[in-house]
Amino acid sequence: MSEPPLQIIYRVQVPAGEIASRAEALLLEQTVELSRRVLPGASLEGLTVGQVVAIEPVAEGEFRVTVAQPRAATADDPAQLLNVLFGNSSLQPDVVLECVTVPDAQALLLGGPRFGLAGLRRLVGAEERAMTMTALKPMGLSVAKLASLCHAFATAGLDFVKDDHGLADHAFCPFAERVRACLEATLRAAQVTGRRTRYVPNLIGSPETVLRQARIARELGVEAVMISPMLVGLPVLHELVRRHLDVPVLAHPAFGGALRIQPRALLGQLFPLFGADAVIYPNVGGRFSYDRATCEAIARTLRRPHVPIAPALPVPAGGIQVDRVTEVLQFYGPETLLLIGGSLLEAPDEATLIQRSRRFVEAVQQYEYGD
Amino acid sequence: MSEPPLQIIYRVQVPAGEIASRAEALLLEQTVELSRRVLPGASLEGLTVGQVVAIEPVAEGEFRVTVAQPRAATADDPAQLLNVLFGNSSLQPDVVLECVTVPDAQALLLGGPRFGLAGLRRLVGAEERAMTMTALKPMGLSVAKLASLCHAFATAGLDFVKDDHGLADHAFCPFAERVRACLEATLRAAQVTGRRTRYVPNLIGSPETVLRQARIARELGVEAVMISPMLVGLPVLHELVRRHLDVPVLAHPAFGGALRIQPRALLGQLFPLFGADAVIYPNVGGRFSYDRATCEAIARTLRRPHVPIAPALPVPAGGIQVDRVTEVLQFYGPETLLLIGGSLLEAPDEATLIQRSRRFVEAVQQYEYGD
């Protein structure tokens, strides 16, 4: 590769004797998802497999692992970049993503902040000093009350007054009305103070909602907005700033700790609630961490939602061997879609692959379900 | 409230003597974000404040806390629902989201699976038994090689053959070409086997990319797709299934463990890389968990990106008192936007609020920065 690769640092907690193979597994998990032994090396036309660049001990049983991945794996797409950085590995409990260095050309393509530090300074005329901001809350106040708060803060001369990140397009406080009233409050205050406070509305919703709010905000004269990238989706932020919005964006960290959602709640409840018909999850005994009880809870929750939505289909995956299909079916029963990848793909040739796949298909078709 | 509230269960690790106040703080953090003491109760027009419904001990220093939140807080918006469930609290290390029960009417509005278990069974004609699926990988194979794999699997009679979740719109394996070739492979196999295997392409990208891929997939005759909701954004999944796609959706858990990204990497590197101009984060000493070193690292990383993008503005927030502004400025220096909310809003009347806000503004404007 002539171009420098994507370089990623992970913290890995593992006994010293296992770190070399763990680092290798981590590297492969994020792209080819097959062990090097079975990689059809000659057939990889678009991708060179990445490499483990460094392993440094940082404490007893803890290492800093630096890996280099080919930029081509990311397809220069924002969502796929996240996938290569921490897609599957995020589900493994011994790994933390510590540092990301994308190749310069890719960073420029992604773009980064369009205004940033300097642009925000210019916006409020604070070239040398720190800047000030406060938030309009609590959620539950009417538009008039929020605007009155905004006016008070603007009178005091703050640089920015933002919506609380919990202010959405509520019936009791509609977005367009709120933006109009708060902007007007900053203008009114400016007539007295001689200096304009910037009101920063919160954009939140699905992509179309966020776009609509961005359009309304700009039409009304908003000069900066806030968004929570983890709530709306990081790629949504990217598309918004690259294609649809010409003012600075403040990012809020809400939902940035989503990993601490129990798997049953995230995969079993939230995924189907948002519309997934089937949900893939790491089966017990594979290379991920879910135990038997967790897998059982995910499957049960998907099949018998506690709210009036249709049952979804559990899709246990990750390390299921063809030989163990019967055992897996005993555990899950017939309301299941079994996903087997590696164990089929590791076949040395196509005939074996078809044969093994047939065994998988037949094992499932012929299995006798008890009660 | 006549309607049942949104009911949420959290696991909280805290000494027994503190659980009552911790549960109350958790409740308020997710909506009004102010302590009850300073809540202008009479002024909340759109919202009744939620309540802690139950606290059960589950182990020494560990509790199951059930809270009820008003549905109005969610504005019936998918992103805002996540926000109310686990927006700010996800950043607090003592809490895990365990279970979510939305009111029936809201679940029906969100919609859930449109095909689900039953629809997927119908699609492949497997009314009683479990179903089978495998994945096309490794990433790096050409379209022809992937299609040939797909043909082998279809020949073996699998119900579904999906893209690996790491297959995006790569130059070495373009989406439309891949979908066309893999569909064709399943048709060819069906002429021999008499039974159609469903090829399930992976949709990944920013919202417009996902929509474009969905359109192409449908035009080519795809009957089910896969998406990683945490990579593209959960609200993107919702919009896709409600507005744009008429086939079943399989969800992949990739990036579902995103919380184990170190704050510096997520907030300091990824947020600006995706276009944020300023990034809000919990300041040291507030009600979140970040220590001094973490805050310093976030600020430094935002200001001096290690890739060629513009510097972004650090916005420390969360529990900063007006009296401590000088101290905070000593730590952060002038390239900072200070966000103070609660400490201003807790003023008993508007005059005090303006006075306190002025003190904040003046403290920042008059601070003498050293070198």
pLDDT tens, position by position, A136-189: 888 888 999 899 888 988 888 888 888 988 899 999 999 999 999 999 999 999
Q: Are strands A249-251 and A225-227 parallel, antiparallel or unpaired?
A: parallel
Which residues are CB-contacts of A161 (< 8 A; sequence separation ≥ 6)?
A133, A134, A135, A136, A150, A153, A154, A182, A186, A197, A198, A199, A200
Number of helices (H), then strands (E), belonging to chain A: the values are 15, 13
Give the number of other CB atoms < 10 A from CB of residue A349: 8
Q: Tell if the CB–CB gap between A207 and B235 is shorter than 8 Å.
A: yes
DSSP state of A196: P
Both structure tokens of B132: 């089978």
What's the confidence (pLDDT) of residue A259? Answer: 53
Minimum-distance CB partner of A83 among B166, B243, B259:
B166
A87 or A215: which leads in pLDDT = A215
Q: Please give the span between the terminal C-alpha atoms of chain A, in angstroms, as a whole number.
A: 57
Both structure tokens of A264: 């049953």
Indicate if the pLDDT at residue A2 is higher than 70. Answer: no
Is the minimum CB–CB distance between B149 and chain A shorter than 8 Å?
A: yes
Q: Which of B230, B170, B165, B158 minimizes the C-alpha distance to B197? A: B158
Task: Give chain A's domains with CATH numbers.
Answer: 6-110 (3.30.70.150), 116-251 (3.20.20.110), 262-366 (3.20.20.110)
Regions of chain B with pLDDT less than 50 = 1, 258, 260
Residues in chain B closer than 8 A to A364 (CB atoms):
129-132
Average pLDDT for residues A194-199, to the nearest whole number?
Answer: 91
Burial of A197 (0-12, 13-18, 19+ CB in 10 A): buried
What's the confidence (pLDDT) of residue B260? Answer: 46
Q: Tell if the CB–CB gap between A241 and B278 is shorter than 8 Å.
A: no
| Sign of torsion over alpha carbons A95, A100, A106, A108 | positive
Site of tokens 């009850």: B36
Minimal C-alpha gap between A294 and chain B (Å):
12
* One-letter amino acid of A14: V
Least confident among A202-206, A244-248, B17-21 = A244-248
Q: Tell if the CB–CB gap between A266 and B256 is shorter than 8 Å.
A: yes
Q: Do residues A289 and B120 touch, judged by C-beta distance below 8 A?
A: no
Is the minimum CB–CB distance between B192 and chain A shorter than 8 Å?
A: no
Decide: helix, strand or coil at residue A100.
strand
A133 or A241: which leads in pLDDT = A241
Helix (H) / strand (E) element for B83: namely helix B78-86
Q: Tell if the CB–CB gap between A233 and B234 is shorter than 8 Å.
A: yes
What's the confidence (pLDDT) of residue A260? Answer: 47
CB pairs under 8 A between A and B: 711
Confidence label for A16 from pLDDT (cuts 50, 70 and 90): very high
Minimal C-alpha gap between A95 and chain B (Å):
7
Minimal C-alpha gap between A199 and chain B (Å):
13
Is the minimum CB–CB distance between B51 and chain A shorter than 8 Å?
A: no
Minimal C-alpha gap between A312 and chain B (Å):
4
For residue A239, give the chain B residue with the closest CA.
B206
Q: What is the DSSP string of B282-341?
A: EPTTSSS---HHHHHHHHHHHHS-SSSS---EEEEESS--GGGHHHHHHHH-SS-EEE--
Site of tokens 């990993």: A259
Q: Do residues A54 and A66 touch, judged by C-beta distance below 8 A?
A: yes
Q: Are strands A278-282 and B249-251 parallel, antiparallel or unpaired?
A: parallel
Both structure tokens of B193: 């086997």
Q: Tell if the CB–CB gap between B90 and A256 is shorter than 8 Å.
A: yes
Which residues are CB-contacts of B331 (< 8 A; sequence separation ≥ 6)?
B292, B295, B296
> Could you read off the pLDDT of A42-75 as tens digits, one per residue?
577 778 889 999 999 999 999 999 999 999 899 8
What's the confidence (pLDDT) of residue A276? Answer: 60
Minimum-distance CB partner of A234 among B274, B333, B345:
B274
Q: Tell if the CB–CB gap between A113 and B152 is shorter than 8 Å.
A: no
Angle made by CA atoms A51, A52, A54, in degrees to the nearest 5: 140
Average pLDDT for residues A248-252, to the nearest whole number?
Answer: 80
For chain A, positions 260-319, list CB contacts with chain B under 8 A: 260-267, 269-282, 303, 305-313, 315
Residues in chain A closer than 8 A to B145 (CB atoms):
43, 45
| Mean of per-residue pLDDT scores for chain A | 83
Q: Tell if the CB–CB gap between B114 and A277 is shorter than 8 Å.
A: yes
Q: Which of A120, A211, A8, A339 minimizes the C-alpha distance to B315? A: A120
Minimum-distance CB partner of B258 among A90, A142, A333:
A90
Residue B76's region, left for phi above 0, alpha for psi from -120 to 50, else beta, is left
State how far the Cα of B221 lies from the Cα of B247, in Å rounded to an integer. 10
Decide: helix, strand or coil at residue B204.
coil
pLDDT > 90: what percent of chain A? 25
Least confident among A14-28, A331-345, B153-167, B323-337 = A331-345
For chain B, positions 19-38, list CB contacts with chain A under 8 A: 30-34
Both structure tokens of A34: 């097959």
Q: Tell if the CB–CB gap between B172 and A230 is shorter than 8 Å.
A: no
What's the confidence (pLDDT) of residue B261? Answer: 53
Instruction: Determine phi and psi for A44, rounding to 5 degrees.
Output: -75, 105
Q: Tell if the CB–CB gap between B334 and A128 is shorter than 8 Å.
A: yes
What's the confidence (pLDDT) of residue A1? Answer: 43
State how far the Cα of A279 lies from the Cα of A297, in Å rounded to an integer. 13
Q: Do residues B277 and A116 touch, judged by C-beta distance below 8 A?
A: yes
Give the number of other CB atoms < 10 A from CB of residue B370: 6
Supply the pTM of this predicted model.
0.81
Give the number of other CB atoms < 10 A from CB of residue A351: 10
What's the confidence (pLDDT) of residue A272? Answer: 66
CA atoms within 13 A on the CB side of A295: 22
Confidence label for A289 from pLDDT (cuts 50, 70 and 90): low
Minimal C-alpha gap between B64 and chain A (Å):
13
Residue A287's region, left for phi above 0, alpha for psi from -120 to 50, else beta, is alpha
Average pLDDT for residues A86-96, to the nearest whole number?
Answer: 80
State how far the Cα of B214 lies from the Cα of B245, in Å rounded to an integer. 7
Q: Do residues A132 and B41 touch, judged by C-beta distance below 8 A?
A: no
